[in-house]
Amino acid sequence: MASSSDMKGFFKQKKKTAAGKGVGKSKANKTTSFKKPKNSASVGTDQVQPLALISHGSLDLQDDYDSNEEVLRQFDMSLAYGPCLGITRLDRWERAKALGLNPPKDVERLLRAEKVNAQCLWDGRI
């Protein structure tokens, strides 16, 4: 659900590195509190993908989505631990532990130690 009203809102894109990589599109951030969606569903158009990347053969679909985030998203989507919206991932993990649901320890390790998103994947998008 894009909060902006025009088409550009669908094609948000984040730069992989801080320094611009030649042809990079700038982001249109409507409000400071709105977080950009993690996945850009923008395969096939050269409007969005930097030409430089396409020419190298791989599409920039990663954003902040890495293997850690994948594990955490699986935790978010799991039915057993209750709704994920409106509660931080760590709070949800602690609740699952307190209710005796045996949530995976890897998730706790990721949430405490590493630089990952504290909120669930739907946060800011619904």
Partner 1 sequence: MAAAAMEVDLGNEYDSIQRKQSLYKSLDERFGIQKEMYKGQQYSQIYFARLHLMRTMLYSLIPNWKPHLPVCNVLGLEEGKECIIVGTIYKHMKLKPSILDEYSKERSATPLVKPHNFVSSDDYLVLEDESGRVKLCGALLLPSFFVTGIVVALHGKETGAGDFMVEDILEAGFPHQIERPLVSGEDKYVVFVSGLSVGGSSSNPLQFQLFIDHITGHLGDEKEQSFAAQIVQVVIAGNSVEYPRTLLNGQNLNAKDQSRLSEPIKELDILLTQIAAGIPLDIMPGPDDPANFSLPQQALHRCLFPGSSAFNTFRSCSNPHSFELDNVSFLGTSGQNIDDLERYSDANDKLEFMERTLRWRHLAPTAPNTLGCYPFTDRDPFFIETCPHVYFVGNQEKYQSRLIKGSEGHVVRLICIPRFVETGTAVVLNMRNLECHTLSFGTEFST
Which residues of the chain form contacts with partner 1 (CB under 8 A)? 79-80, 82-83, 85-88, 91, 94-95, 98-101
Q: At closest approach, how far in Å is the CB of 102 from partner 1?
A: 13
Q: Say if residues 10 and 27 touch (Cβ distance below 8 Å).
A: no
For partner 1, which is the closer residue by CB, 63 or 94? 94
For partner 1, which is the closer residue by CB, 28 or 85? 85
Q: At closest approach, how far in Å is the CB of 30 from partner 1?
A: 20
Q: At closest approach, how far in Å is the CB of 79 from partner 1?
A: 5
- Chain centroid to CA 53: 21
Produce one character per residue of 109-123: b if its CB has 16 or more CB atoms within 10 Å, e if not. ebbeeeebbebbbeb
Q: At closest approach, how far in Å is the CB of 24 from partner 1?
A: 33
For partner 1, which is the closer residue by CB, 20 or 86? 86
For partner 1, which is the closer residue by CB, 51 or 99? 99
Q: What is the dihedral of CA 108, 112, 113, 115, to 10 degrees?
A: 110
Q: Which of 34, 27, 32 is nearest to 2 (CA)?
A: 34
